Amino acid sequence: MVKVKKVFLSLGVCLLLVVIGLVSYAAYIYASSPEVVRNPKLEHYHFRMQILVDGKAENFAEKGYQTGYAKDQCNANLPEQPIHFHDNKDQFTHIHWEGMTGGMVMKYYGWNYIGGIDNALGYKLDDLTNIQKVTTHGNYLPAVPAGAKFYVFTGNEDTFKERNFNDWKDQDLEQFFGVTSNSPAHEINKGEEVSILDSLFPKAYAHGENHEAEATTDDETEEQELTRINNLIGNVVLFIQKDKPSEEQIKQRFNKLEPLTDSTCGG
């Protein structure tokens, strides 16, 4: 009888340890996953990003950065991954989940300045029957040279300004750029009324569908129209080097922005 009690006691201890382990692991993945990853919401906007390490510009049009996708498919399904480069285009960064930050974008391609789970942005926990690890795309960004600093600038060909690296790293990109996405999905997430058509086809004016009917003013320039059609919220240039770049170097990069075009539904 004593032996039986010891066996049951041992089993009970083992079971308790297993439960504690599972609870601890669950707490870890929850705490290590930002809310925007744990409970992702559909978004679709773009920004142009240039990264220069010791003067050499990274080319996001290279195959390693690019992701394939099913073109010409307008729907309200949440993509598996929140960040993309595709169509063999440099600079043009696609954001598909709400709340992404510059730090998440950098981590997604190999520079982790925000901590958390290695090689992942966290775990998607909105459906506990289908928990998914949101893995990063890979370690494609070049090594950061010893002693280098991050110099961050936003703007365009006409005007630009230096920004705080921590703001770039930690802020929601819409907050960082000071521009609100015009995607209908954005309004749905904020609880505002949106037509059934827009909820089913959330990229109607983020990618050139019916954009003439959505024009905000007759005086809108072609560049303003293309910015609206592409739902472009801003441009950022990161210089990673020891010394601050000259104004001429900064201007040169903003004069090399990827041109905007009418885009097909799907990207």
The count of structural domains within the chain is 1
Sequence-ordered list of residues with C-beta below 8 angstroms from that of 27, at least 6 positions apart, any chain: none
pLDDT tens-digit readout, 118-173: 999 999 998 888 899 999 999 999 999 999 999 999 999 999 999 999 999 999 99
* Cα angle 232, 246, 172; round to 5: 30
Q: What is the domain range of residue 184?
A: 32-254
pLDDT tens-digit readout, 68-104: 876 644 556 788 899 999 989 999 999 999 999 999 9
pLDDT tens-digit readout, 256-266: 999 998 764 54
Does residue 215 surpass a pLDDT of 70?
no
Is residue 266, in this structure, part of any structural domain at all? no
- The string of DSSP letters for the chain reads -HHHHHHHHHHHHHHHHHHHHHHHHHHHHHHTS-HHHHS--EEEEEEEEEEEETTEEP-TTSTTTB----TT----PPPSSSEEB-TT-SSEEEEEETT-BHHHHHHHTT--SS-SSTTEEEEE-SSTTS-EEEE---S-SPPPPTT-EEEEEEE-SS-EEEE-HHHHHHSBHHHHHT-----HHHHHHTT----HHHHHSTTTTTTTTTTTTT-S-TT--HHHHHHHHTTEEEEEEEEEESSPPPHHHHHHHHTTPPPP----TT-
Check: CB of residue 154 under 8 Å from CB of residue 163.
yes
Is residue 19, in this structure, part of any structural domain at all? no
Is residue 105, in this structure, part of any structural domain at all? yes
* Rounded distance between C-alpha atoms, residue 202 and residue 30, angstroms: 29
Is residue 14, in this structure, part of any structural domain at all? no
pTM of the model: 0.82
pLDDT tens-digit readout, 167-190: 999 999 999 999 999 987 666 666
Is residue 74, in this structure, part of any structural domain at all? yes
Is residue 204, in this structure, part of any structural domain at all? yes
Check: CB of residue 166 under 8 Å from CB of residue 250.
no
pLDDT tens-digit readout, 34-81: 999 999 999 999 999 999 999 999 999 999 999 887 664 455 678 889
Does residue 210 surpass a pLDDT of 70?
no
Does residue 1 surpass a pLDDT of 90?
no
Is residue 248, in this structure, part of any structural domain at all? yes
Is residue 66, in this structure, part of any structural domain at all? yes
